[in-house]
Structure 1
Amino acid sequence: MAGDLRGKVALVAGATRGAGRGIAVQLGEAGATVYCTGRTTRAQRSDYDRPETIEDTAEMVTRAGGEGIAVRVDHTVPEEVRELLRRVESEQGQLDVLVNDLGGEHLMDWDRPIWEQDLTKGLQRLRTGIEAHMITAHFALALLSKRPGGLVVELTDGTAEVHEKFYRNWCGAFFDVAKTAMHRLARAEGEELAKLGGTAVSLTPGWLRSEMMLEHYGVTEENWRESTIAPPGFAIAESPAYVGRAVVALACDPDVARWNTQSLSSGFLAKEYGFTDTDGSQPDCWRFALEVEWVDGQGDVADYR
């Protein structure tokens, strides 16, 4: 994908795996210096208890053509985030792109009403999915706002239109509140940054072929279409690189302010900017969900990728 972000500095908060890693690597491919933060290092795993590390992501960024810098940070702890941004300012003197991809998918309590969900897990979901985003924005935007043209991307799951029309009861209330809050946070950030020449958006990938998802369906990125246990809708899945290319397209767009405060998706931006997923397709998971999958409509997955 064409894009030149040499001389630009990005912070991807939550870059250990999944969408965060995909975004960090694509920013690196465009030449950016990328601070890759998270809680899992080669020395110690987080409560996710997964093998992916921030050091792995940083090395992938560097191999792609940028400069990857791994920093262990718990974004629910203000002092750790403050120190991170002090380091970024000391080492780089600027911050051009903030990607907030902090969540907690390991905290999901599937297919249960709020009164049956684990309250401790649910509240932790809100801390990582909302509070950590706001802590990070508090410190990061103080630096990013010093130069015009800065971009903030709040990662979520589902567009504002999806959240308005459907409640995904299989995901639960804590998940829904955390994800819908990102649209409002991006709106607030965008309103505050606009007068300083900055832009903020909420952005959702589609059905993401993350490390966890591939493992769950017993496939790899190379043979994902061959899963025998994945539901039919998995055919619309996209790689983490796809949403990464969406962020690069936004970061490289001199007129990115036209999207300020808006809710965007990887599939929508692929059509707008002309980029593709790694297989050359342009999957649009949310349009497929709104027009076919969730409304008993008629349509072929192939028509939406």
Structure 2
Amino acid sequence: MTARDTDHTRPSARPLEGRIALVAGATRGAGRAIARELARSGAFVWCTGRSTRSNPSDYGRGETIDETAELITSEGGQAEALVCDHLDRAQVDEVVSTIDARHGRLDILVNDIGGEAYVDWGEKFWTTDFDAEMRLFRAGLLTHLNTAHAALPLLVRESGGLHIEITDGTQDFNDTHYRESIYLDLTKTAVSRLAFGLGHELAEAGGTAVAVTPGWLRSEMMLELFDTSEETWSADALDPERSVPPADFAISETPHLLGRTVAALAADPDRHRFNTRTLSTHELGRVYGISDIDGSLPDAWAFIGAKEAGTPVEASDYR
């Protein structure tokens, strides 16, 4: 058991009691953590994704959507898993119909499906395998459009609905930095822009749309990619004898900081003040007095900015 799996007893305060949430892409990483934290705060969480025990991930991951729901119920929460390929409009429609039939409402929609596993680094756009690389764009953006289009009629049935896009990078960062992949760069900036546009349209129905970005994320995939663990990531990042993880990984955060800030935002009766914005976990953590499970509140984007400006930085000063 890793640190990410601890401290999940049922909290005494459950501000989302009675709320209905859909987390699209809840199989692993950020989506799983968001689903768990929403449930810990009292929401009934519908967890969707493609990976099941009988039909595992197409990029070699072992986590399943069933496990996410089981984790939630083992922690005293309420959740159900629905297998759904969010590129298939009929499957997304079926998910929304199921939620409608059970509850007649949807209060929180989180679009978390990523696609970063499909990035092919180091290729110029015109030399890439277009069809292969478009998997990222379809997984990371078209799934969000499909899900929003199908679910928003249910979300706006009652005033106060919240739509959250999970992205990568603050607006300031993405405005001035290129992600070294056309497909990734377009996908992540478009996700933030989707929240911006939907915020304008949802406002008329009393709803709110925002995008939320973590910093360096210590997901299962990242820990394995960098051949490190939840117990050793900090020492490994600062070890001059190692090429991975990169030194900047010392400013990383667990997916549960993202989950906790999303849950706090959903419980905030004044959340509309953030409408259309892209928010970082650090900013939301400061607003709501929330920290990561180790008690820190990493500010990866300020750390990166200071480093690029030539300011001497220590990761510990930004945690």
> Do 1:219 and 1:226's aligned partners in 2 also have CA atoms closer than 8 Å?
no
Q: Secondary structure at the match of 2:141?
A: helix
Return the letter of the residue paired with 1:147.
Answer: E
1:28-49 Cα offsets, whole Å, 9 max, x none, are 1111111111000011113122
Q: In structure 2, what is the Cα distance between the partners aligned to 1:65 and 1:259? A: 31
Q: In structure 1, what is the Cα distance between the partners aligned to 2:76 and 2:161? A: 22
Return the letter of the residue paired with 2:306.
Answer: E
> Do 2:22 and 2:46's aligned partners in 1 also have CA atoms closer than 8 Å?
yes
Q: In structure 1, what is the Cα distance between the partners aligned to 2:223 and 2:310? A: 27
Unaligned runs of at least 5 residues, structure 1: none
1:210 to 207, 219, 244: 219
> Are residue 114 (structure 1) and residue 128 (structure 2) matched?
no
> Are residue 287 (structure 1) and residue 298 (structure 2) matched?
no
Name 2:239's counterpart in structure 1.
none
> Do 1:3 and 1:249's aligned partners in 2 also have CA atoms closer than 8 Å?
no
Return the letter of the residue paired with 1:219.
Answer: T
| Higher deviation after alignment, 211-220 or 272-281 | 211-220
Name 2:167's counterpart in structure 1.
156
| TM-score when normalising by structure 2 | 0.91
1:171-193 Cα offsets, whole Å, 9 max, x none, are x1100000000121001111111
Name 1:80's counterpart in structure 2.
91
> Do 2:110 and 2:164's aligned partners in 1 also have CA atoms closer than 8 Å?
yes
Unaligned runs of at least 5 residues, structure 2: 1-10, 237-241
> Are residue 233 (structure 1) and residue 248 (structure 2) matched?
yes
> Do 1:60 and 1:68's aligned partners in 2 also have CA atoms closer than 8 Å?
no
Q: In structure 2, what is the Cα distance between the partners aligned to 1:164 and 1:27? A: 31
Return the letter of the residue paired with 1:191.
Answer: H
| TM-score when normalising by structure 1 | 0.96
Q: In structure 1, what is the Cα distance between the partners aligned to 2:300 and 2:214? A: 8
1:184-215 Cα offsets, whole Å, 9 max, x none, are 10011111110111100011111110101111
Q: Secondary structure at the match of 1:36?
A: strand
Using a 3 Å threshold, how does the CA distance of structure 1 residues 248 and 128 change in structure 2: closer, same or farther?
Answer: same
Q: CA deviation at 1:165?
A: 1.3
Return the letter of the residue paired with 2:272.
Answer: A
Q: In structure 1, what is the Cα distance between the partners aligned to 2:83 and 2:274? A: 31
> Do 1:14 and 1:36's aligned partners in 2 also have CA atoms closer than 8 Å?
yes
Q: CA deviation at 1:66?
A: 1.8
> Are residue 123 (structure 1) and residue 134 (structure 2) matched?
yes
> Do 2:233 and 2:245's aligned partners in 1 also have CA atoms closer than 8 Å?
no
Name 1:273's counterpart in structure 2.
288
